[in-house]
Amino acid sequence: MSTLPVIAAVDGSDDSLVALDWAFDAALLREAPLRVVHAWQYAAWAKPEVLPAGRPVPEDDPVLDRVRRYLEARVERPATEYVVVEGEPAAVLPELGSGAQLLVLGSRGRGGFASLLLGSTGMAAARDAGCPVVVVPKPGREVHDAMPIGPGRRVVVGLQVDSPDEATLSFAFAEAALRGARVQVVAAYTWPLHVWTAATAQIVPPSHDQDAVEAETRTLAEGILAPYGERHPEVRAETCIAPGDAAGHLVAASKDANLVVVGRHRRRLLAPARLMGSVTHAVLLHAASPVAVVPPTPAEE
């Protein structure tokens, strides 16, 4: 059985070359082929299509020519192919995810406004692709109020203890095993809790103690994580239990992390279209490290 490739989407921008570097290393780690894809914009009335097998990549494509020159001096490299797809990148790139291990792209390409932290193509790919999508930010993105973190390789993953995401946790532990990294699990809980009473029509203080809520959250998290530790005994997991905003804690933990892993929303009965949750959206916009957005399992989709 052939190994699915790691796909790097390039458009000639410096951001896409940063993403290419990440995809290159990921392909080497996985012993997988690297597929470098350049999406050509097509006329509004034309039908998008992948160039048929055997049709040569145009010799005058400056984007792929630049990529070839960029990679040619590297001694160790995965088997690499160059592919042109025709169409709107935000439409055609997510479709490639069904035949890939990973789809990797920069946070912002040539199009759009320079002030945007995440371009429309990255947003569409993270929302729609059938495989995990890694969005690589521009180097030097700053994170304020970063967590005090010890040295060493680290994969950060968010955990919602009342609705754990199997696909996201599995990906995070497998990625940490590949990279010789530890997993830092961030589990946030709501605090302060406010209780509405119909009798007095008031919001009253919580009856629970914060220490008790934190302890319960930790106990639930440890129970959820135990099977993943058994599958990956070489991966050390550390759990960070914190009150408040999950997105803020994940962004804070992203400083100097190798990867932050978040899940894409499951489809809801009243909202059958694919969605990206507010936490995932915020992490994509503000994390200092690459962010992997993991789709739900097909059954959950």
Q: What's the pLDDT at 14? A: 87
Q: Is the dihedral of CA 144, 19, 177, 260 positive or negative?
A: positive
Question: Which distant-in-sequence residues (6+ apart) come within 8 Å of 259 by Cβ?
Answer: 134, 155, 156, 175, 179, 289, 290, 291, 292
Please choose, from the candidates 165, 137, 157, the residue with its C-alpha nearest in 3D space to the C-alpha of residue 264: 165
Domains of the chain: 6-136 (3.40.50.620), 154-294 (3.40.50.12370)
Q: What's the pLDDT at 46? A: 45
C-alpha span between 267 and 137 (Å, rounded): 27
C-alpha span between 289 and 160 (Å, rounded): 21
Distance linking the first and last C-alpha atoms of the chain: 26
Q: Which amino acid does the sequence have at 43?
A: A
> Chain centroid to CA 46: how far?
31
**What one-character-per-residue DSSP string does 208-219 give?**
S-HHHHHHHHHH
From residue 97, alpha-carbon distances to 3, 100, 197 in Å are 14, 5, 48
**Exposure of 193 in the CB half-sphere (CA atoms within 13 A):** 12
Mean pLDDT, contiguous 10-residue spans, the chain (301 residues): 88 90 96 93 50 50 90 91 88 92 82 54 88 91 78 94 94 97 93 58 63 91 96 95 91 94 68 66 92 81 50
- In this prediction the pTM is 0.85
